[in-house]
Amino acid sequence: MSEKRGLTAEDLYRFVWVGAPDVSKADGRIVYTERTVNAAKDGYHTRIRVLSPDGSKDTVFTSGEQDASPSWSPDGSRLAFVRKQGDKRQIWLLPADGGEARVLTDLPEGAGDFAWAPDGSRLLVSSQSEAALGGSDEEVPYPGSGSATEPNADVSGPDKPLAEVVVDRIRYRGDGSGLWNGRRNHLFVVDAASGEAKTVTSGAFDIGSFAWSPDGSTIAYTAYIPEDGEDGVDPDLLWISDLYVADASGGSRRKLTDSSWSVGQPAFSPDGSKIAFFASDHSYHNATLNRLYSIPAEGGDIVCLADDRDLLIGNFVVGDMRSGLGSPEPLFAEDGRSVYALFTRHGSAGLARFAADGSGHEVLLEGDRDVYQLTPDHRGGFVVAISDPLNPGDLYRFSPDTGEETRLTDANSAWLGEHELSAPESFWIDTQDGLKVQGWIMKPVGFSAADSSSEPKKVPTILEIHGGPHMMYGHTFMHEFQLLAAQGCAVLFSNPRGGHGYGQEFVNACRGDYGGGDYRDLMEIVDYALANYDYVDETRLGVTGGSYGGFMTNWIVGHTDRFKSAVTQRSISNWISFYGVSDIGPYFTKDQIGGDPWQDTELLWKHSPLAYVQQMRTPLLILHGEQDLRCPIEQGEQLFIALKRLGRKTRLVRFPGASHDLSRGGHPSLRVARLSYIAGWMDEHL
């Protein structure tokens, strides 16, 4: 038997990601998606598999290159799913007993999310449609090429000449989606037999999430729709979404909230009398915790169902395994007396049951792991998707009444059995100003303290810093961490103030203080590791992070020389320019730092790592995606040029076609390259 080895960057090509489970109410069969790397196309292959109720039989159910979002019809006779062919996604139907799938929709811009009507006769589908550029519902065609999301290199030539793009709104581009194409996201009701689509919503606004009422007569959806005659702040600067109910045929709508919330994921109670939803009331601006609420479907008082104000609803664990997953909607119990939802706390994501009258909640599923998806089964329980630090993720059946768990899949056993992984050890520190901060440390793979010398064996140690900042490291699988541990490094990571999972005041504590208390927390984490783990080598410390973690990496090397190697990823270096070039710049800069460039230049520059570039002497590798619109590449370019001008050790690596999401969902070859650059730079300098 061959000796086990640590992970390499190239092991990404062997990973299997499972998710999107759905259970047939007819016979309990479970469909789910299996995602693997398609090396030949430098992309991904997603297909749908079907499991027997007990998990004993697991077979491939669809044969498309990119099949996703499987959903059984209410009677279990058909499976609807989204298949991408060419550049469009449409909904397809497949008989429950197998056979040939047929395409159902022919929407001009393709199909997005969808939901079966309760009687199975229709589907509610989101899709883009032409929309007004102004504030009215009048349809205005978009000038230019008609699809500003396509890069110029793909539209030039004699048959498709270059065209100008006219911009009239602040939110005219988005990371991952590119330039706004002049269309809005709206709802259509599609006949499940004929595929005929009827418009349900239209106008100069975007629909968010949506749900059917139990009798199929009405729908609930989220959107921000300016009222007639409303005058004030540009809607693109208002991160607000209201809850509406409307006739399913596209009739009049009723607004249930007062435009002071960000509402998402509505779900009707079994009798249709209530709607549960997740929402932020903006009391702490961008740092406000999501909570669980309900409201009468006819309108009325909103009730908070999460009695603990510091309990964050939803999954906010950050990792490098999954891209754009989001949190599943709240789920009512069959008797309507309780609501189930995921929550985030102390590095874990779990499942809780909330009383529908707001009287309390109980935790059902927690522990050192990451519950990232759930769906009800046919027997009053759930099928859940769970990851932990030693497994990218599998499906389990869970009974809320007995607490029993049954494993249903073992998707990565083929390669996991060949590898030795490092398990994180959790610890807490008390900061000098009275906060409790959680951290973890991973020993190098195969580490043994035994040495022929009397001195403790020392290893290089790398501090990892998460993005957000309002996200959370936790008990989930991290390829990057395992790679560094396999290379012989200890890996140190934590959730400094500003991170989720530790209460409302904690997550709000970094706003207006970037580079202050959060920086001190990280340095105290390092101090704790040096004092308590004798294998940590003080002379060989590295630091890396992405997004906010990239900002903080830049900040750290501008304020201390204790680190001998640094890698900054998709970072922020200059808040003044970030304001105008990022897809979230105007509202995020104002909210997190506290000013606008034209009147608060000194404040923004004070919090900009670039202001301290003359103090940066740590060798710094700068990794950046060329299509990153969240933290555009000019942020990395400014820092690189300044460092080169000062004669410092630095290098800029540009990833073509890569968005801010490179580490989680980018082209596999670029993900492997990114990991290799991080590991190589740390190896060279530590």
Q: What is 152-181 written as a DSSP string?
A: HHHH-SSSS--------SS--EETTTEE--
Q: Convert the pLDDT of each residue in 212-259 to its tens digit.
A: 999 999 999 999 998 865 667 788 888 899 999 999 988 789 999 999
Q: What is the pLDDT of residue 158?
A: 55
- What pLDDT sits at residue 462? 98
Would you state the pLDDT for residue 227?
Answer: 81
pLDDT in tens, 581-628: 999 999 999 999 999 999 999 999 999 999 999 999 999 999 999 999
pTM score, whole prediction = 0.94
CA dist., res. 659 & res. 635, Å (int): 14
Encode pLDDT of 636-680 as tens digits.
Answer: 999 999 999 999 999 999 999 999 999 999 999 999 999 999 999
| pLDDT of amino acid 469 | 97
Lowest mean pLDDT among 315-324, 417-426, 622-631: 315-324
Query: Which of 129, 494, 547, 571 is an active site residue?
Result: 547
Active site residue 547: yes
pLDDT score, position 138: 39
SS3 508: helix
- pLDDT for the residue 648: 98
Write the DSSP string, 663-674: HHHS-HHHHHHH
Q: Residue 148 pLDDT more than 60?
A: no
Cβ within 8 Å of residue 263, ≥6 positions away: 208, 222, 241, 242, 243, 257, 277, 278, 279
Residue 136: pLDDT band with limits 50, 70, 90: very low
How far apart, in whole angstroms, are the C-alpha atoms of residue 52 and residue 63? 19
pLDDT tens, residue by residue, 64-76: 999 999 999 999 9
| Contact present, 275 and 268 (Cβ < 8 Å) | yes
**Contact between 23 and 55 (Cβ < 8 Å):** no
pLDDT of residue 444: 98
- Give the model's confidence band at 24: pLDDT under 50 very low, under 70 low, under 90 confident, else very high: very high
CA–CA separation, 369 vs 348, rounded Å? 5
When the pLDDT of each residue in the chain is averaged and rounded to a whole number, the result is 93
Give the burial class of 580: count Cβ atoms within 10 A of its Cβ; 0-12 exposed, 13-18 middle, 19 or more buried.
exposed
Structure tokens at 199: 């418009």
Whether residue 469 is preceded by a cis peptide bond, meaning omega within 30 degrees of 0, is: yes
For residue 561, how many other CB atoms are within 10 A of its CB? 10
pLDDT at 411 over 80: yes
Domain 424-449+457-573+608-685, CATH = 3.40.50.1820
Question: Is position 45 annotated as part of the catalytic site?
Answer: no
Whether the predicted pLDDT of 376 surpasses 90: yes
Average pLDDT over residues 21-29: 97
CA torsion sign, 577 to 578 to 583 to 589? negative
Which amino acid belongs to residue 349?
A
For the chain, domain boundaries:
17-103, 424-449+457-573+608-685
What per-residue confidence (pLDDT) applies to 147? 36
Among the listed ranges 127-141, 194-208, 488-502, which one has the minimum average pLDDT value?
Answer: 127-141
Task: Return the pLDDT at 223.
Answer: 97
Is the per-residue pLDDT at 152 higher than 60? no
Question: Is pLDDT of 142 > 70?
Answer: no
Catalytic site residue from 466, 624, 660, 685: 660
